[in-house]
Amino acid sequence: MPVFRFLFLSIFLISTFSIFPDEPVTNVETFPETSQNEMSQETETYQGTSLQEPETSKKPAKSDDNKIVVKGSRKKKTSSDTTAAQESVNSKEIEEKQSVTTGDAVKEMTGVYVNGDGRTGQSQFLFVRGFRSADVLVLVDGVELRNPLSPNGAADLSMSPENIAKIDLLKGPQPVLFGSGAIAGVLDIKTKKGHGKPKFTASASTAVLDMSSSRYIPDTTNVSANLSGSKNRFFYSGGGSFFYTKGISMADSYKDIKENLYTKTPENDSVIKGSLYFRGGIDINNDNTWEIILRGNVAKAEIDDGPGLGMDDPNRNLLNGNVLLKTGIDSNLFNKIWNLKFDVSMLLSSLGDKDPADPGRMAGDLKSRYRSMTFAANWKNSVNPVEWYELVTGLDFSTESGTADYEDYSAGRYFNMDFVPNPDVNLDIYAFNIFKPLDKLELNAGGRLQTNFYQISLLDKDTDEALPNETKKNVEPTFSVGAAYETPIELGFKARFARGTKTPTLFQRFSRYANLYQELKPETAYGFDGAIQQYFVERKILLEAGYFYELKINNIDLDKSGIYSNRYRIENHGLEIAFHTKPFWGVSLRSAYTWIFKMQEYKVVEYKGEKYKAKTPTLMRPQHSFNAVLNYNYEKILNISLELNYVGERKDEVYNYPKTPYIITADDFVILNFAVSYKINSFVTIFAKIENMLDNDDYAYSVEYGTAGITPWIGLKVNL
């Protein structure tokens, strides 16, 4: 406690002396009517490259609109790892493609495959370079989106992207600057911040989900609204979104599984979700900003829980929600040599699964509720004493607590499970060094000491008697080293190696799927990637090729008996190729191909004193994937976007009657989407979109869920 008091007192004193200016503030600079978000949309980022001119350039702003410039120049302060394989998508690109969900917005990124539990509106998750969504740390305004009590520890990306300003994807382990959970990458989502005169934006669209099934009445609605602006030193942005569909259903059939065993299920389930958000604050002076963020989400989804005719459950639904409060201060000290950020956040999450017994059937009749609270405090310091060196240090503290209740009356039996474990406590300290000895050369290295305290509850293997609850202390050192350099001929090189780790979640340790006889070990990951970047035509074209290797040890997953255990090691080798351009006469192209030429899961077994690799099939992870977005914009009035996705064959596990799982190979597929928008005047824009123009029947997120055929959207956007 004395240490925390000292830190708190230090932060308070530093902030106090820096918040109040030495003299009255006069001549307050005001922003132009164009918002900062709109301006930032013109500074798109591709594959770790910024489309802005370096800060040292004296050219007018418009002169760099069609240039691609690498990040991490000597004179630009970064406070981030620019040697990592990364790319971005901004609000302009999201709007051009008319993405309905955040998962739709990121599925064109290199090495990303979006997987979900059904059609538009259902849960969406992503795989990055063959690693599952649970291995990717998803942040929204610096707060982890994942619910610690969710079964697979993954974040759902089916949320609306309307309020998103930018999404950055950093691939490979990111342990030093982001900590536990970032063992396969970080998806960093930043929301919009208000500037300028008050601006009101609203959009509404409707769709026929799967017109190819002879349904022509709109069954899907998507609505959003936002009010943003600033006055003097105050800024604000707030609004909400609403989504509803009744077009969700199971797969119409199962190709190459068992002929004529299943037919189209008659019921279409519904999904309804809404969100409210607010982000505001005050620029206290030129060196200090205070900010507060409020966000709430709620969703209800009727779900199918069994394949085939007669197996659909008409009254099972999931209800989940969360509420976030975050506040913090950003201060510059000693003539901007030292930047200090301190924030605290609280996230409340809940997940309910209710399935009353169906009339005349024993199936169903279960109810489960999971609730969690996460509190976090983060203190980050960036010190830039000289041009060629920057030191980033920080202290992260978080605690997660939760409860679970589970009741099951199915098959004539009653089972009750409740748990209220002690909170998980995490305390990390880190340091990250950035060296820039030469222009466009960056060397960095850093380490983080992760300290986790968490409770385990086990049974004696011989007597089945409960052992005393034990609090475990896990201390893990993690690190990363990297280098990036761009030659005078605009040829760039970068490489990076890192080690990350992640402790078992509350759900994995205490749910009804927990291993009662064996302690789960933390997961550990190692990653290496290297890339070559070449620019052409005055930096208007970027070609990048890279290699990656990632190894994950003690992977936690359900075994065949439905119990969590440290099952496998996962090892992936692959190549990534990306081709991006800035607009030529209004036309731009971004495309990427990923080939995971060695992708395997195995467990180490010992036989007669020798160790062997026992391989197991990798599920839902395509070896080949390709995507491209071709966009045309005419005088910022007409925009046309053509989006193509190819996903190769992949293994999947199917639970058919009599519920015995077996492995099948899901077919590859090609999806083609077309979107167009036309700006009628400065206030009104009309837009339309056709998803799955090829009506590809093989397109399925997973085998047991169907995917919409040809789906047309039409909508209207108003700016006041």
Structure tokens given for 168: 């950055």
Residues 6+ apart with CB under 8 A from 719: 199, 200, 201, 682, 683, 684, 685
Highest mean pLDDT out of 185-199, 597-611, 703-717: 185-199
How many domains, the chain?
A: 1
Residue 320: pLDDT band by 50, 70, 90 thresholds? confident
Residue range 340-348: mean pLDDT, rounded: 95
Give the containing element (helix H, strand E) for 85: none
Strand partners, 340: 331, 381
Q: What is the dihedral of CA 627, 632, 637, 638, to 10 degrees?
A: -80
Mean pLDDT calculated for residue range 421-432:
91
pLDDT in tens, 634-690: 999 999 999 998 988 888 776 554 455 677 787 888 889 999 999 999 999 999 999
672: three-class secondary structure by DSSP? strand
How many Cβ atoms sit within 10 Å of the Cβ of residue 123? 23
Is the model's pLDDT at 225 over the cut of 60?
yes
Give percent of the chain above pLDDT 70.
76
Categorize the per-residue pLDDT at 584 as very low, low, confident or very high, splitting at 50, 70 and 90: confident
- For residue 68, is pLDDT > 50? no
Q: Given this model, what pLDDT does residue 426 score?
A: 94
pLDDT tens readout for residues 546-561: 999 999 999 888 777 7
Q: Which residue has the tokens 């990350």?
A: 500
User: If you search the block for the tokens 């006889």, which residue do you land on?
Assistant: 517
Q: Could you tell me which residue, 633 or 620, shows the higher pLDDT?
A: 633
**What is the model's pLDDT at position 361?**
58
CA gap 501, 175 in Å, rounded: 7
Q: Which residue has the tokens 């290199």?
A: 110
Residues 584-606 have a mean pLDDT of 89
User: Which pLDDT does position 574 carry in this prediction?
Assistant: 95
AA letter at 683: F
What is the pLDDT confidence band of residue 15, given thresholds at 50, 70 and 90?
Answer: very low
> Does the structure show a pLDDT above 90 at 376?
yes
Q: Is the pLDDT of residue 564 over 60?
A: yes
Most distant CA pair in the chain, distance: 81
Q: Is the pLDDT of residue 112 over 80?
A: yes
Residue range 341-356: average pLDDT? 88
User: CATH number for the domain including 605?
Assistant: 2.40.170.20
What does the pLDDT read at residue 26? 33
Of the ranges 32-46, 183-197, 302-316, the best mean pLDDT one = 183-197
* pLDDT in the model for residue 488: 92
pLDDT at residue 136 tops 70:
yes
715 pLDDT band (50/70/90 cuts)? very high
pLDDT of residue 422: 77
Query: Tell me, what's the pLDDT at 4?
Result: 39
Task: Give the separation between CA 327 and CA 329, rounded to whole angstroms.
Answer: 7
Structural tokens at position 98: 């008319």
Q: Is the pLDDT confidence value at 261 over 60? A: no
**pLDDT one-digit tens code per residue, 187-199:** 999 999 888 999 9
**What confidence tier does 248 reach under pLDDT thresholds 50, 70, 90?**
low
Q: pTM for the full model?
A: 0.84
Phi, then psi, of 93 in degrees rounded to 5: -70, -35
Does residue 415 carry a pLDDT above 90? Answer: no
Position 463 scores a pLDDT of: 85
Which is more confidently placed, 16 or 354?
Answer: 354
pLDDT of 31: 29
Examine the pLDDT at 157 and tell me if it is beyond 50: yes
Three-state SS at 480: strand
Over 50: is that where the pLDDT of 308 sits?
no
Which pair of structure tokens corresponds to residue 676?
A: 């167009």
∠ CA 129-130-131, nearest 5°, is 95
Coil, helix or strand at residue 176:
helix
Query: Any idea which of 307-321, 420-434, 497-511 has the lowest mean pLDDT?
Result: 307-321
**pLDDT beyond 70 at 65:** no
Rounded mean pLDDT, 378-407: 90
Reported as a single tens digit per residue, the pLDDT across 432-481 is: 999 999 999 999 999 999 999 988 888 888 888 888 888 889 899 999 99
* Pick from 508, 501, 399: nearest CA to 152: 508
pLDDT classification of 630: cutoffs 50, 70, 90: very high
Euclidean distance between CA atoms 301 and 118, whole angstroms? 11
Burial 585-611 (b: 16+ CB within 10 A, else e): eeebbbbbbbbbeebbbbeeeeeeeee
CB 522 within 8 A of CB 501: yes
- How far is the C-alpha of 453 from the C-alpha of 261, rounded, in Å? 50
pLDDT digits (tens, 9 = 90+) for 398-412: 998 887 777 766 555
Give the CA distances from residue 562 to residues 151, 540, 616, in Å, rounded to whole numbers and listed in that order.
12, 52, 16
Lowest-confidence pick of 31-40, 115-124, 136-145, 614-623:
31-40
Please name the residues in contact with 75: beta carbons below 8 A apart, sequence gap of 6 or more.
Answer: 54, 55, 56, 387
Question: Cα(465)–Cα(458) distance, rounded to whole angstroms?
Answer: 9
Tell me what the mean pLDDT of segment 277-304 comes to: 91
Residue 153 CA: distances (Å) to CA of 418, 478, 694: 19, 21, 34
Calculate mean pLDDT across residues 569-577: 93
Q: Which of 536-540, 663-667, 706-710 has the lowest mean pLDDT?
A: 706-710
Residue 78 has pLDDT above 80, yes or no: no
User: How much is the average pLDDT of 529-537?
Assistant: 94
Q: Which domain holds residue 426?
A: 2-719
pLDDT at 229: 95
Higher-confidence position of 417 and 211: 211
